[in-house]
């Protein structure tokens, strides 16, 4: 049966057939252009993973045991290393497009259990989400979708647990945390939500995926690599200067990590520092000592964690229409990018679910507070206009130095967590 919101939206321009046809024409041209540039004209992080996949295949991985990625991730990279370089890029690019489409479909199916809407409205919400984050998505497709795969893993985990399949959810979370470490955030999240079975299976699959390489490179190399990885991770956790989020990379303004972003407003960088920019528009604010700045950053993050813990304090209901399930899961996905020590803007493809849920609620013709719309406009202005395409390289770096992207994602997090209760996801 068609509800009131479906009737209201039935004749809107964004639910028309013309809208869908024009979208497919535009997106077809974008895919053709992006496939050429992403497959043949870029290297970026993909080359790094391709090479480490070859090292894994050759059994030469111990010479590269200082890599920040887990051994399980390098085993995954081996699926790229066994192919010709451009074949691997084409394979990854095509798979990423399929993963992106399937992720949006899964989020819509889950959301429909709580707020059913017509396919045309859901399609429009997906289109506007991709349009608003087009800069992030296209930049990730330059890397043949490496972050889109993480989006798919975490989406698959939410789809599984929403259907009561804790083992499958634990598997996908284990894959995600092996692929990139920050999805480990889901472990305390699951425990806080009393999802013990999924949490235990997540731990099991993380261990299994990082010991499985022993089949290919031997037990001794597997243990040695994993121990070296743990040692290096411990070293990164002991870094006391918040302007140096890792021990293995020079700080760059492109990094939109939340701790790094907070530190930007607490410290002053002298001439010659990698974060200093000799430009009149580059302003510095706080001048705290390193130890003090580190203490303030950690204190702010602790308060932030406490606020989220309070917001997430209720366990999910047993029925399929779990109150707040999707908004909370989308928030933790966004945190996987925000709290990463190295967070480039294209990592914000992980924010697509939060944006999709927010826009879906806006387009459903139900009441949304006016301030939601204003904040959405602010986010759109920042994400669509204040980047390199419009500002040029030098000015875009200065803009990145102010960490507006990180703060825009915090605003998006607030929106998805404050969708009116009767429409909460």
Q: What is the DSSP letter of 341?
A: S
Distance CA 157, CA 176 (A): 9
Q: What is the pLDDT of residue 211?
A: 96
Q: Of the spans 205-209, 245-249, 313-317, which averages the highest pLDDT?
A: 205-209
Q: Which band of pLDDT confidence, cut at 50, 70 and 90, is reported for residue 8?
A: very low
Distance CA 67, CA 248 (A): 9
Helix ranges, 254-392 (H): 258-264, 290-311, 325-338, 352-363, 370-385, 388-391
Please give the helix or strand (H or E) that residue 288 lies within, else none. Answer: none
The mean pLDDT value of the chain amounts to 90
Summarize the confidence of residues 13-36 as an average pLDDT. 91
Distance CA 343, CA 293 (A): 20
Using an 8 Å Cβ cutoff, are 258 and 284 in contact? no
Q: Which band of pLDDT confidence, cut at 50, 70 and 90, is reported for residue 321?
A: very low
Q: What is the pLDDT of residue 64?
A: 62
Length of the chain as a residue count:
425
pLDDT tens digits along 280-308: 999 999 999 999 999 999 999 999 999 99
Percent of all residues in the chain with a pLDDT value above 90, rounded to a whole number = 71
pLDDT tens digits along 253-285: 999 999 999 999 999 999 999 999 999 999 999
Widest distance between CA atoms in the chain? 66
pLDDT tens digits along 101-151: 999 999 999 999 888 888 999 999 999 999 999 999 999 999 999 999 999
Q: What is the pLDDT of residue 421?
A: 60
Using an 8 Å Cβ cutoff, are 126 and 338 in contact? no
Q: Which band of pLDDT confidence, cut at 50, 70 and 90, is reported for residue 320?
A: very low
Q: Which band of pLDDT confidence, cut at 50, 70 and 90, is reported for residue 425?
A: very low
Residues ≥6 apart with Cβ < 8 Å to 373 = 362
**CA-wise closest residue to 305 among 315, 317, 313:** 313
Using an 8 Å Cβ cutoff, are 293 and 267 in contact? yes
Using an 8 Å Cβ cutoff, are 326 and 158 in contact? yes
- Start-to-end Cα distance in the chain: 21
Summarize the confidence of residues 349-367 as an average pLDDT. 89
pTM of the complete model:
0.94
Helix %, strand %, coil % of the chain (to 5) = 70, 0, 30
Residues ≥6 apart with Cβ < 8 Å to 365 = 4, 5, 8, 9
Summarize the confidence of residues 212-239 as an average pLDDT. 89
Distance CA 13, CA 109 (A): 23
pLDDT tens digits along 38-73: 999 888 889 989 998 998 888 877 666 556 789 999
CA distances from 254 to 68, 250, 379, 397 (A): 19, 11, 18, 7
Q: What is the pLDDT of residue 280?
A: 94
pLDDT tens digits along 389-406: 788 888 999 999 999 999
pLDDT tens digits along 326-343: 999 999 999 999 999 999
Distance CA 340, CA 347 (A): 10
Q: What is the pLDDT of residue 4?
A: 45
Tell whether the model's pLDDT for residue 242 goes beyond 50. Answer: yes
């Amino acid at each position: 049966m068609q509800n009131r919101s479906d009737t209201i939206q039935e004749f809107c321009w964004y639910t028309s057939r013309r809208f869908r046809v024009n979208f497919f024409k535009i997106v077809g041209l974008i895919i053709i252009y992006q496939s050429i540039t992403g497959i043949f004209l870029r290297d970026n992080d993909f080359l790094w993973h391709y090479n480490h996949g070859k090292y894994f295949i050759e059994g030469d991985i111990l010479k590269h045991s200082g890599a920040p990625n887990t051994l399980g991730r390098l085993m995954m990279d081996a699926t790229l290393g066994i192919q010709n370089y451009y074949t691997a890029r084409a394979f990854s690019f095509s798979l990423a497009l399929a993963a992106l489409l399937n992720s949006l479909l899964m989020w819509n199916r889950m959301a429909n259990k709580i707020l059913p809407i017509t396919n045309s409205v859901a399609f429009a919400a997906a289109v506007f989400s991709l349009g608003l984050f087009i800069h992030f998505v296209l930049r990730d497709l330059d890397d043949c979708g490496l972050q889109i795969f993480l989006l798919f893993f975490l989406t698959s985990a939410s789809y599984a647990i929403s259907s009561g399949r804790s083992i499958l959810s634990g598997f996908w979370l284990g894959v995600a945390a092996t692929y990139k470490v920050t999805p480990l955030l889901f472990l305390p999240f699951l425990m806080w939500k009393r999802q013990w079975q999924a949490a235990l299976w997540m731990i099991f699959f993380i261990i299994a995926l990082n010991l499985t390489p022993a089949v290919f490179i031997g037990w001794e190399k597997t243990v040695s690599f994993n121990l070296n990885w743990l040692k290096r991770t411990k070293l990164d956790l002991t870094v006391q200067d918040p302007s140096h989020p890792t021990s293995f990379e020079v700080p760059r303004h492109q990094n939109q990590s939340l701790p790094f972003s907070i530190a930007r407003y607490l410290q002053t960088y002298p001439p010659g520092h990698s974060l200093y920019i000799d430009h009149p528009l580059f302003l510095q604010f706080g001048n705290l000592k390193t130890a003090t700045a580190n203490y303030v950053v950690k204190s702010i993050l602790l308060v932030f964690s406490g606020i989220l813990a309070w917001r997430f304090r209720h366990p999910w209901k047993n029925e399929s229409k779990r109150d707040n399930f999707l908004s909370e899961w989308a928030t933790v996905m966004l945190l996987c990018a925000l709290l990463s020590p190295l967070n480039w803007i294209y990592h914000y493809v992980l924010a697509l679910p939060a944006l999709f849920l927010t826009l879906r609620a806006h387009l459903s013709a139900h009441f949304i507070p006016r301030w939601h719309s204003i904040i959405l406009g602010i986010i759109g202005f920042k994400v669509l206009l204040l980047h390199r395409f419009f500002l040029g390289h030098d000015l875009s770096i200065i803009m990145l130095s102010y960490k507006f992207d990180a703060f825009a994602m915090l605003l998006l997090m607030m929106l998805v967590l404050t969708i009116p209760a009767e429409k909460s996801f």
